[in-house]
């Protein structure tokens, strides 16, 4: 019966890719493997830094290192590490997401942020505006976003790390302009009333603004804004730097227990320290993040205009407090979005 042969042949055929895969292996992985769980926009950054560190480490110790990269929304990545994603290091968008890992899993110390210089943040960034070429709506500062008919694109602070920075930057402006928390709340309420789409992540919002052509202004990470200007066709967008914004400090940390288990403690510590070297800081600046190193910062000072920056610690009492007050259920964000 032919049909039986067919089934046998089908099963045999199905085995071919499986066998090929078993024998194939992954050529890219050799020596010590470091798993770096990061957030969305850092792909290009670590593509530049990882090979440079591998070469540096090889020269110093003779050991070969290779990398496994995982990228996703910062909050989602944090959740995955809590659920068992085997990260040696985490490099996320905000300290709160690493605090949660420390608190829930105890796989890194609660004081992880003191382990490296500058609050364990090898670079900073801020929140700026991206507008259509030539700035047809004349947007110069936060006040202009409330003009009638202006559509503002920003992601949902409930799900997106970047969106929380955006919200707090807007709050900082509202508080400075109006002088009180009540005025700040009034400002953000009016602002979010002008948002046509709340995407779940920062990349989603950038796509909404740049690809789908929705909105007059995108509130975005400075590095995302640069990337959109340079990647999505030059001459389509302009960056507008507002008078005041927040100092974003995306932190990095060794997940100590995981590194211990893999026997990678020494190399991952060196990896994170490497981020502070002039070579890595230059790569950081080339990828549009603001470097910490003063010499490198001086070299790139034309790229990053000066503006008044508030920190989360001084203006909002740290991430845990800000999270609770603004973004947890029943917080300020729920209050302002309920009354539409």
Partner 1 sequence: MNRNPVSESRFARAALITIALLFLALFILLPLFAVFSEALKEGFDDFAEAVSTPDALAAIRLTLIVAAISVPLNMVFGVAASWAITKFDFRGKGFLITLIDLPFSVSPVVSGLIFVLLFGANGYLGPWLAEHDVRIIFAVPGIVLATVFITFPFVARELIPLMMEQGKEDEEAAISLGASGWQTFWHVTLPNIRWALLYGVLLCNARAMGEFGAVSVVSGHIRGITNTMPLHVEILYNEYDFVGAFAVASLLAGLALVTLVIKTVLEWRFNLHHAGARH
Give CA–CA dist 174/163, Å, rounded: 16
Residue 234 binds partner 1, judged by CB under 8 A: no
For residue 67, give every residue at least 6 positions away whose Cβ sits within 8 Å of its Cβ, in sequence order, or none: 33, 34, 35, 36, 46, 50, 54
> Which tokens in the block code for residue 311?
């920190």
Give CA–CA dist 180/134, Å, rounded: 34
Give the angle 281-287-293 at the CA atoms, nearest 5°.
20
Task: Give the interface segment with partner 1, choosing from 75-83, 119-127, 240-248, 296-304 (CB under 8 A).
Answer: 75-83
Task: Give the interface segment with partner 1, choosing from 20-28, 122-130, 165-173, 189-197 (CB under 8 A).
Answer: 20-28
Measure Cα distances from 233 to 132, 149, 212, 225, 227 in Å.
12, 26, 14, 12, 10
Residue 18 binds partner 1, judged by CB under 8 A: yes
Binding-site size for partner 1 (CB under 8 A) equals 41
Residue 64 binds partner 1, judged by CB under 8 A: no
Measure Cα distances from 141 to 52, 71, 135, 303, 337 in Å.
39, 32, 12, 19, 23
* 68: enclosing H helix or E strand: strand 65-72
Residue 214 binds partner 1, judged by CB under 8 A: no
Residue 68 binds partner 1, judged by CB under 8 A: yes
User: Which is nearer to partner 1, 104 or 133 (by Cβ)?
Assistant: 104
Single residue of 48, 56, 71, 286 touching partner 1 by CB under 8 A: 71
User: Which is nearer to partner 1, 10 or 235 (by Cβ)?
Assistant: 10
CB of 84 to partner 1, least distance (A): 3
Single residue of 31, 48, 52, 105 touching partner 1 by CB under 8 A: 105
Single residue of 31, 72, 109, 318 touching partner 1 by CB under 8 A: 72
Residue numbers 257-286 binding partner 1 by CB under 8 A: none
Single residue of 103, 231, 308, 328 touching partner 1 by CB under 8 A: 231
Give CA–CA dist 309/287, Å, rounded: 20
Task: Give the interface segment with partner 1, choosing from 13-21, 125-133, 237-245, 326-334 (CB under 8 A).
Answer: 13-21
CB of 42 to partner 1, least distance (A): 11
User: Which is nearer to partner 1, 81 or 169 (by Cβ)?
Assistant: 81
Single residue of 52, 85, 240, 270 touching partner 1 by CB under 8 A: 85
Q: 177-201 as b/e, with b when 16 or more CB fall inside 10 Å?
A: eeeeeeebbebbbebbebbebbbbb
Q: 125-145 as b/e, with b when 16 or more CB fall inside 10 Å?
A: bbbbbbbbeebeeebeebebb
Measure Cα distances from 286 to 18, 71, 126, 223, 322 in Å.
41, 20, 16, 10, 31
Residue 17 binds partner 1, judged by CB under 8 A: yes
Single residue of 28, 59, 298, 338 touching partner 1 by CB under 8 A: 28
Residue 21 binds partner 1, judged by CB under 8 A: yes
Expressed in angstroms, the distance from the first to the final Cα of the chain is 70
CB of 11 to partner 1, least distance (A): 6
Q: Which residues form the interface with partner 1 (CB under 8 A)?
A: 1-4, 6-7, 10-11, 14-18, 20-21, 24, 26-28, 35, 40, 43, 68-72, 80, 82-86, 104-105, 203-204, 207, 227, 231-232
């Amino acid at each position: 019966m032919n049909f039986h042969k067919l089934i046998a042949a089908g099963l045999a055929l199905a085995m071919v890719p499986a066998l090929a895969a078993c024998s194939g292996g992954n050529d890219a992985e050799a020596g010590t493997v470091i798993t770096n769980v990061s957030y969305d926009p850092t792909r290009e950054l670590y593509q530049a830094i990882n090979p440079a560190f591998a070469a540096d480490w090889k020269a110093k110790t003779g050991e070969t290192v290779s990398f496994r990269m995982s990228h996703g929304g910062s909050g989602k990545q944090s959740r995955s590490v809590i659920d068992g994603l085997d990260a040696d290091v985490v490099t996320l968008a905000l300290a709160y997401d690493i605090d949660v890992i420390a608190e829930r899993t105890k796989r890194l110390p609660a004081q992880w942020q003191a382990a490296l210089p500058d609050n364990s943040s090898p670079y900073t960034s801020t929140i700026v505006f991206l507008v259509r070429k030539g700035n047809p709506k004349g947007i110069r500062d936060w006040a202009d976003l409330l003009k009638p008919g202006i559509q503002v694109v920003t992601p949902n602070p409930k799900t997106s790390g970047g969106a929380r920075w955006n919200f707090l930057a807007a709050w900082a402006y509202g508080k400075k302009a109006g002088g009180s928390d009540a005025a700040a709340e009034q400002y953000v309420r009016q602002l979010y009333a002008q948002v046509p789409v709340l995407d779940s992540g920062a990349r989603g919002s950038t796509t909404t603004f740049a690809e789908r052509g929705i909105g007059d202004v995108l509130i975005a990470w400075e590095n995302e804004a640069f990337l959109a200007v340079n990647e999505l066709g030059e001459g389509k967008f302009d960056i507008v730097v507002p008078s005041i914004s927040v100092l974003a400090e995306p932190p990095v940390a060794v997940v100590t227990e995981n590194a211990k288990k893999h026997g990678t403690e020494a190399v991952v510590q060196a990896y994170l320290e490497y981020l502070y070297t002039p070579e890595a800081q230059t790569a950081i600046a080339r990828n549009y993040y603001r470097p910490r190193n003063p010499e490198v910062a001086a070299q790139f000072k034309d790229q990053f205009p000066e503006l008044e920056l508030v920190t989360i610690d001084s203006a909002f009492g740290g991430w845990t407090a800000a999270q609770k007050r603004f973004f947890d259920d029943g917080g300020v964000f729920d209050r302002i979005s309920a009354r539409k």
